[in-house]
Chain A
Amino acid sequence: MKYLDEFADPEVALRLVEQIRARATRSWTVMEVCGGQTHSLVRNGIDQLLDGAVEFVHGPGCPVCVTPLETIDRALALASRPEITLCSFGDMLRVPGSHEDLFAVRARGGDVRVVYSPLDALRVAEAEPEREVVFFAVGFETTAPANAMAVVRARALGVENFSMLVSHVLVPPAMAAVLSSPTRRVAGFLAAGHVCTVMGTRQYDALVEQFHVPVVVAGFEALDLLDATLRVVEQLEAGEARLDNAYTRAVDRAGNERAQRVLAEVFEVCDRTWRGIGDIPASGWRLSGAFRDYDAELRFDVGEVRVDEAPDCRAGEVLQGLVKPDSCACFATTCTPRTPLGATMVSSEGACAAYYRYRRSGVATGARAHG
């Protein structure tokens, strides 16, 4: 798809950088919510090119990073049971639990399998009726439609040896929590584009109104991010606070209404603890009453789990935009992607992993097309 690459055009990117620098009369603090956007900003060196005009603080939009430690420990406990096959997205395998990760459980003989889609996990359950297949259903609004459809299908097909360990999180309540914090620094948001493919841009209306904050929906390429940043800065300079969409090729106001209907049937809103951040009211989805018989936590008693976070890890502050990853003493010393102390060093969406990959030696990269 030719025009996708063109959204990384370095020449146009540099012109946009100039535009933003010309507009900004001070340094504005802008949060990019999604971890994929963090990676793109750091990889392209956009944060460095805009130094002095915009300070990007990296948001909590990394599902691997915020899945509660307790839930990771539950997954580990389930995967350790001989009758259970635990299916998971690949990036959850190296996430540190209190004492180990899913890789370690697998090395000890646990049946842990990586799947690309929850429907693959359902297929495993169909093919191996003697196993109890548990799908580790995590993620934001983007993965929720897939996970919801897996239980809908399981019921329709009468697959009884399938269940899910559900720990979904929702983006707008996390943005509200950032804005409600007494240490709030964020003046505007680049909102995660792909979340809107499901829920539509209208999900941010209430946030803009309540907190009087500019929210610009952004894509993931260099030009998408710069375009959205320019629009945020223009609003801030004009004292405005509007919802704007800089990602019209992929998202609209309504989102995918078919998916929204299924989500409303399968899930219900619940309070959720975010790893490193804490409790955020009404910030998650769990299985609704109608689908509770697919809840792995109810089907298998894993008992009490006692959680234990690595004491030196500052991932919580990183996730709230309070410190940058390279200010952590463990960064690239005791903590690396191979030996992560915190979840933010694990995933391809975690801020610590992004800095490790592109910023370890402190080299400025400049805007470039693809890393």
Chain B
Amino acid sequence: MCLGLPGKVTEVFEDRGTTMAVVDFGGASKQVCCAYLPEVEVGQYALVHAGFALTVLDEKAALETLELLRSLGTVADELGGPELGGPELGGGPGEVGA
């Protein structure tokens, strides 16, 4: 029950004074209450808990985080190891025995 699901907002409408949305969770569509997120727009990804949209996922923040994580460990090894000789990503640190 506690796990929020992200889904894409495909429709926003009013029902008896409350903002509602149709949200697509990877194929399955559900009606979701947007009383706590009335500013939500079609095309955004919302995080939904127990039938309520609570927040919009920030695509820019997601891409920035990914960018940062991908760059970790692929640049020169700050810990004194040999420098990576060019674009040998993936074959490098990732394979060092765990």
Chain A residues with CB under 8 Å of chain B are: 1, 3-4, 6-7, 9, 11-12, 14-19, 21-22, 34-36, 49, 61-64, 89-92, 116-120, 138-140, 142-143, 145-147, 149, 194, 197-198, 220, 223, 227, 230, 246, 248-251, 256, 258-259, 262, 348-349
Contact = CB atoms under 8 A, between A and B. Distances in A.
A88 to B, nearest CB: 9
23 contacts: A1-B45, A11-B94, A16-B72, A17-B98, A18-B94, A19-B93, A22-B79, A64-B1, A117-B52, A118-B50, A118-B51, A138-B1, A142-B49, A145-B52, A146-B49, A146-B50, A197-B49, A230-B72, A249-B58, A250-B58, A256-B55, A259-B36, A349-B3
* Ranked 5 nearest A-B pairs via Cβ: A117-B51, A15-B73, A146-B50, A249-B62, A14-B94
A250 B6 CA distance: 10
B29 to A, nearest CB: 13
B4 A194 contact: yes
Given A14-B98, A139-B2, A250-B57, 17 more contacts: A3-B66, A4-B62, A9-B70, A12-B70, A14-B94, A18-B73, A18-B96, A22-B79, A61-B2, A63-B1, A116-B30, A145-B36, A149-B52, A223-B69, A249-B61, A262-B36, A348-B3
Contacts of A14: 93-95, 98
Contacts of B30: 116
Interface residues of B, number: 40
Candidate in B33, B45, B55, B66 with the most chain A CB atoms within 10 angstroms: B55
A143 B2 contact: yes
B42 interface: no
B37 interface: yes
